[in-house]
Amino acid sequence: MERYGGQTMNEAKKAADYRSELKPIWCPGCGDFGFLNAMYKALEELQLDPANTVVCSGIGCSSRISGYVKAYSFNGIHGRVLPFASGVKMSRPETTVIAVGGDGDGFSIGAGHIGHAARKNINITYVVLDNNIYGLTKGQASPTTPLGVRTKTTYYGNMGTTFNPVRMLIAYKASFVARTFSGDPKHIQKILVEAVRHPGFAFIEVLSPCVTFRGQDQYKILRERVRYLDESYNPENEVEAFDIANDENMLALGVIYKKIRPTYDEIIQQNVISKAKAASNGVAKIDKLLEQFQP
């Protein structure tokens, strides 16, 4: 099946080596810059080979990120980054796949995919840069826009309570759920490195303020609302993790939940392909498959 093998790298890569020639279209002060810079550093720390790294995204401000990274990258359609990433990962399990999107891309149009990528435990990292607004279309309500907030499509105030992404992902049995903050790139780097190394579906919510449509004071507000999880915190306790997720006043930063279980590609290899090939005594030949159609 392999037509072109992977390649080991000779020289150590620097963060700048992962930077593409494209200049980000983001507004000055956008939280996504904080994540992007932290991501370059995380890629350096992980020494990922660009040839064996796929960065993919959907549609939105944050989804432009795939163009800014030197790797195999793909900027697909709105809300479908997880199915795309699943197709890549299952096709080339040796590849590191990082899927990125925003709160609209992930929790609105693409919400139907998260639970399935999580329950299958597709071994990818999924980063949602959550700015609580639709930025690319210039300021409409998203599933995480706070209740009552006026946006261009909720002139009289946002209706409906907001999603709690971390709680949702724990409920979906994602095997790694973390939250971090654009205002602390070092923390992002640490969490991202851990997520990429995690064997299984790893979800990171990045609180990534939109200064243009949510206001210049977002960093200040968030800084007052975040707290770091203690070193002693054990993320493997689901009940405790839910308690932390439920606290929407003080947003905990760090790995909130983690449980290692077999990944989808491991299951496919061990429980599907090996069983199938045992049934066919090795790779089935066309003539062998045709036998079942004999009268």
Partner 1 sequence: MLNNRNIVIGIAGSGGDGVVSAGEILVNAASSDGLFVFMLKSFGAQIRGGECSVRVRISDLPVQSQGDRIDVMVVLSWSNFLRFRTELLLKDNAVILSDTDDPMPDKDVPLNDQQRELWYKIPFSKLANEKTGSSLAKNIVMLGAISELFSLPKEALNKSVHKKFRNKPDDIIESNIKAMQAGTDYVCEHVEKKDPLRFEYEARSPRLVMQGNEAVAMGAIYAGLEFYAGYPITPSTEIMEWISRYLPQRDGITMQMEDELASINAIIGASFAGRKAMTATSGPGISLMTEGIGLATMAEIPIVIINVQRGGPSTGLPTKTEQADLMQAIWGSTGDSPRVVIAPCDVEDCFDCTVMAFYISEKYQMPVIVLSDQFIAHRTESVSPDAIRGTKEGFRKTYTRDIPNEEELKEYRRYKFTESGVSPMSYPGIPGGEYLGSGLEHDERGYPRGDAVSHQKMTEKRWKKFEYIKQEFRFERFYGPLDAPLGVIAWGSTKGAVKEAVNKANAMGIAVGALVPQLIYPFLLDPFNEFMKNKKRVIIPEMSFSGQFKRYLRGFIRFGDYGVKDVAYAKAGGSPFTVEEILNKIIEVWKDMEARR
CA distance to 30, 60, 143, 163, per residue, from 27 (Å): 6, 13, 22, 25
Q: Which is nearer to partner 1, 21 or 230 (CB)?
A: 21
Q: How far is the CB of 178 from partner 1 (least distance, A)?
A: 24
147 binds partner 1 (CB under 8 A): no
Structure tokens at 155: 């002139």
111 binds partner 1 (CB under 8 A): no
Q: Which is nearer to partner 1, 88 or 202 (CB)?
A: 88
- Determine the straight-line distance between the first and last CA of the chain, rounded to whole angstroms: 32
Q: CA-to-CA distance for 276 and 280, rounded, in angstroms?
A: 6
74 binds partner 1 (CB under 8 A): yes
**Of 256, 228, 262, nearest in space to 242 by CA:** 256
88 binds partner 1 (CB under 8 A): yes
21 binds partner 1 (CB under 8 A): yes
27 binds partner 1 (CB under 8 A): no
Q: CA-to-CA distance for 82 and 56, rounded, in angstroms?
A: 9
Binds partner 1 by CB under 8 A, chosen from 112, 146, 157, 160:
112
| DSSP line for 17-55 | GGB-SPPP-PPTT-HHHHHHHHHHHHHHHHT--GGGEEE
- One-letter amino acid identity for 27? C
290 binds partner 1 (CB under 8 A): yes
Binds partner 1 by CB under 8 A, chosen from 1, 12, 16, 239:
1
Q: Which residues bind partner 1 (CB under 8 A)?
A: 1, 3-7, 20-22, 49-54, 56, 66-67, 70-77, 79-80, 82-92, 94-95, 112-113, 115-116, 268, 272-273, 275-277, 279-280, 283-284, 286-287, 289-290, 293-295
